[in-house]
Every structure is written in C-alpha cells, then in structure tokens.
Structure 1
Amino acid sequence: MPTNRKIAEVEELSELFSNSEIILLAEYIGTSVSQMSELRKALNNASASLRIAKNTLAKLAVDKANKSILSEQIKGPIGFVFSNDEPSSVAKSIFEFTEQNDVPFIVKIGLLNDELVDEATLLKLSKLPSKEILLSKLIGNMNSPISNFVFLMSANVRSFVNVLQRHIDQSATEEAPVEEPKEESPSEEPKEESPS
C-alpha cells in the first residue's frame, strides 16, 4: 500500500520530469556521500539538481509525466539530473567534475527536448563552448561582412572625392594665368686676361 510519503515523492519527481528540459540518468555505484555532496554543489552552480529515488517510484513518476521513453532506462542504482539551463553547461559540469575528482558517476543516457541521447553525444555536447560564446562568434561572423561592405563603400566614396579634388585642383591651375619668365639681360662677365 502506498504511503503518503511515497505518493508525495512520486508527485514531486513527476513535476521534475515534466518541467525539466534536460534529464540525465547516471549510475552512481561507488560514489561516496562526500563526492555526491560535492557533485550536487557543482550541479547547483550549473543550474541543475541531482535526485536519487527508488526505481519503482521513478518509473511511476516518469509515466505520470508522460516521459515513458525513460522508463526502460531506469535500471539499477540511477541518479537523475534535472535542469532547464543549456545542455552543454550541465553536461560539461558533470563530466569535468567526475574527471577532475575521479568520481564514479557515469552518465548513461539523457533526455533533451524529449529525445534520447547517449553518453557519447552528451560528451560531445559537454565540449561545446557556452551559448554566450557561440552567440558572440555568430554575431562576429555576421558583423564581419557588414563591416567589410561598409569599408569598401566608404573607400569608393573616398576615391570619388579624391578624383573630384584632383579635378578641381587641375582646373584651378589651368585657369590661372601663367607668368612667363622674364628674360634676363646678359650680364657682363669680367674678361679674363690671357697671359702673354
């Protein structure tokens, strides 16, 4: 017979499953309590949370949240990571933490936008730069052709202005009367006496 505590836990898990865009399932066999505690802190910094639940309760919650695709994946001791943040930062925080601290917390599968993704895909996802960096690169790439276009257009305008200025300068010199050089009168040069 289900107790009120179990019913409340299924309800709470069901809310997490239905409201999270990212759900990761990971084995935690051999992970100590202190390591789990540190992992929770790392996940909190990445706007994610870690929950451990009994498999029967988790399967009930998954079915209630209409995410039954996960039901088959819940086997053995499984921890659930929930988040609504960008998937790359959540995956990065887990993989970096487990690698740096030698923690046996193995991500098996994930559900991103209602699609199952395997560990290899999650590992690739963890190596992506953050959303802000990707957006800044995209904007930089979009801005570069525009800047080049503006530079080229302004160069054409500058060239046109230079041609006009040369034409104005040239026509001004043609219109001005040219003074003829004055003839110089022959100056008397002292004659040298020849030695006799």
Structure 2
Amino acid sequence: MSLNRQEKAVVIEEVSAVVAKAQSIVIAEYRGLDVASVTVLRKTARESGVYLRVLKNSLARRAVAGTAFEPLAEQLTGPLIYGISADPVSAAKVIAGFAKSNDKLVIKAGALPNNLLNQEGVKALATMPSREELLSKLLGTMQAPIAQFVRTLNEVPTKFARGLAAVRDQKAAA
C-alpha cells in the first residue's frame, strides 16, 4: 500500500524525531523473514527500548538528511529493517542477537553519530556492555575500597566482642 504525500511527511517527521534523539542506528536486510519472526524481533526490540521499523529507503534517506547519521544514506538499498536506539549498543545487541538465531536477517550496516559502521563493526558494538552495565561496574570498582575499609574498621570491635564472649564462656565453664 503506497502512502500519499501527507502520510509520507508524517512518517518522515516521526522517524526524524526518533533519529534526532538517537545514539545508534542499525540496518539489516530482512529478505525471507516470515511475519512471526519479525513480530518476535519487534517484541524484543520494544522490551529493549529500540525503535524498530520497516521503512521505504527513500523516506529513510530524507529522515537522516541533515543529521549526524547522514553517511548511512549510501547504504540504504534493498528490503531493510531499521533499529534506532538512544543507547549506543542496544540496537546492535537486539539485531545481532536475533541474527544469530535467524540467518535470514543479515546485518548490513550501522552508524553512530558521524561514524559509519560495517557489518563487523555492528557485531563488535553488540558485544560491548551497555551504558548501565558499565556504570554499575564503575560504581562497584569505586565502592570496593570503601567497603573493605568499613569492614576493616568494623573488625576491631567485633574481635573485642568475641574476646569478651570467650572470657565469659571460660568463666562460666570454670
């Protein structure tokens, strides 16, 4: 079903708004995928906060024009599904994870702001930890010395209490 000019303008506006907030875009060729598989992919993407859309390539070119993702426009050929994410690794993780279990979905390219990625670059990006994981590791690393110091300070009164309990038990046994 073709869209009229107003509907195309609405689609371009919607996708442009998402792209403006995006940190990564991944495109994959979905030729041969059945509807059930695409539905599973959409559900996974929605749960991960990834905007997933099948879009006419000409509309996608207009949506990325004038943005940091403009170099991606050269890669927009064939039947493509677009994964757009505000997290730099989420879209790559979702699409690469699905592509592992379904060989009909082929990652074609991806982009970070002002940086075009090839298929290997997208797969490498998918193996990186997410922002939340990195922040939790950083916080754990920062808290470790403080927690160890607190345990060390807490050990002095604990040893004293154990010593008193041992003396009490010794006197009670005598």
- TM-score, with normalisation over the residues of structure 1? 0.65
Q: Residue 70 of structure 1 aligns with which residue?
A: 72
Matched, 1:26 2:28: yes
Judge conservation of contact 1:35–1:103 (CA < 8 Å) in 2: no
Q: Spell out, residue by residue over 1:17-75, the C-alpha distance to the aligned partner (whole angstroms, 9 max, x if none).
A: 22322211111111111111110001001101211121222222222546421211111
Q: Structure 1 residues 14, 134: CA separation in 2 closer, same or farther (over 3 Å shift)?
A: closer
Q: Residue 172 of structure 2 aligns with which residue?
A: none
Q: Spell out, residue by residue over 1:107-131, the C-alpha distance to the aligned partner (whole angstroms, 9 max, x if none).
A: 2221223322222222222223343
Matched, 1:132 2:129: no
Deviation at 1:150, TM superposition (A): 7.0
Unaligned runs of 5+ in 2: 157-174
- Which one has the largest radius of gyration? 1
2-side partners of 1:131 and 1:17: how far apart? 19
Q: Residue 94 of structure 1 aligns with which residue?
A: 95
How many residues are paired up?
Answer: 153
Q: Structure 1 residues 129, 19: CA separation in 2 closer, same or farther (over 3 Å shift)?
A: closer
Q: Residue 168 of structure 1 aligns with which residue?
A: none
Matched, 1:117 2:117: yes
Residue identity matched to 2:118: D
Any idea what SS the aligned residue of 2:28 has? strand
Residue identity matched to 2:143: N
Q: Spell out, residue by residue over 1:141-183, the C-alpha distance to the aligned partner (whole angstroms, 9 max, x if none).
A: 333445566788x6xxx8xxxxxxxxxxxxxxxxxxxxxxxxx
* Greater helix share, structure number: 2
18, 42, 45: which is aligned to 2:44? 42
2-side partners of 1:14 and 1:133: how far apart? 28
2-side partners of 1:37 and 1:22: how far apart? 22
2-side partners of 1:55 and 1:73: how far apart? 9
1-side partners of 2:30 and 2:149: how far apart? 55
Unaligned runs of 5+ in 1: 159-196
RMSD of Structure 2 on Structure 1 (CA): 2.7
